[in-house]
Amino acid sequence: MKLMIVDDSNIIRNRIARIASDSFLNQKLPNIEIVGAAASGVEAHALFLKTRPEIVTMDLTMPEMDGVECTTLLTQVDPQVKILIISALSDKATAIQALMNGAEGFLYKPFTDDELINALLELVEE
């Protein structure tokens, strides 16, 4: 499974990548290959076209292009892509909008390692 991480925080990108690869080592997750990490929606769109990941973790509040908009773009390119929103924005309207625009899961920040693993598992298992 090819994974792309989208978040404007460097430490969050690193943390997601670390949890995903550690979990593969611990056999908690199937093989997830991290094909890229982007810090904004615009960057994510370009990287998506190049690497064509199957799963994407997506932050919502980002400069240039926010996560909801980016989700719409990515699902237009590939309707099969599975997008997990990872955001601190906890209001319902935003979450519903993201899900309507094609996201499949929603994980609230802050999250524990296990919460991220479970969210990724749910995404991969379908």
Partner 1 sequence: MSDLSEKDIDVFIEAVGDYFKKTTQEAASVGVAYLARNAFPMNDFTGMIKVSADYDGILYFSAPSAMLRHLLTVMKETNQSDENLLDAVGEIANTISGNARKYFGENMVISIPEKVAGLPSSFNQQARYYAYVIIIKWKHYSASLIVDISRKR
Partner 2 sequence: MAIVNNTNTFNKYSGLLIAVTLFLLFNLSVLGLNFYTSSTLDNDAISINLAGRQRMLSQRTAKVLLTIQVDAAQGKFNDKNTAELKKVVLLFDATLNAFKSGGQVLGGDEKAVTLNKVSDSAATKAVDAALTIWQPYKQLLTPVINSQVVEESSLDAATDYARDHNLKLLTLMNDLTTQLEKNTKAKAGNLKLIQTIALVLSLLLFGNIVFNALRKLRAADGEIEKAQRETTEILNTVKEGLFLLDPELLIGTQFSSSMNKILQHDISAKVPFMPILEALVSAEVFSQATNYISLLFGNKVKENLILSLNPLMQVRVYSTTSNNIASAPRYLSFQFNRVIEDKRVLHLLVTVQDVTEQVTQAEELLKLKGQSNINLDFLRKLLEADSFQLQQFLKNTNTGLSALNTILANADKRASNHDDLANQCFRIVHSIKGESAAMGLEAIEAYAHQFEEHLSLLRKKTNWDTQEVLSLPVMLSALFDQISQIEVIVNAIQLHLESANTTQKQTSVSSSISHNLTRLAAQVSQNQNKNVRLNLSLALLDQVETKTAIQLQQIGIQLIRNSICHGIETAAARAAKGKPPHGEITISTQMTPQGAIHFSVRDDGQGIVPARIRAAMVASGRYSIEMVDQLTDKEVVKKLFEPGFSTASTADKDAGSGVGMDLIQSLVNEIGGELKIDTKPDVFTQFTFRIAQHKAPAINLESNLFDSTVNVLERVT
Contact residues toward partner 2 (CB under 8 A) are 92-93, 95-97, 99-100, 104-106, 122
Positions 17 through 36 that interact with partner 1 (CB under 8 A): 18
**107 beta partners:** 86
For partner 2, the closer of residues 34 and 84 by Cβ is 84
- Tell me the window of 27-35, 50-58, 75-83, 105-113 that interacts with partner 1 (CB under 8 A): 105-113
- Shortest reach from residue 40's CB to partner 2, in Å: 26
| CA-based max dimension of the chain | 37
Residue 15's nearest CA partner among 115, 126, 125 is 115
For partner 2, the closer of residues 8 and 104 by Cβ is 104
Between the alpha carbon of residue 9 and those of residues 37, 39, 51, 68, 78, the distances in Å are 11, 7, 21, 17, 25
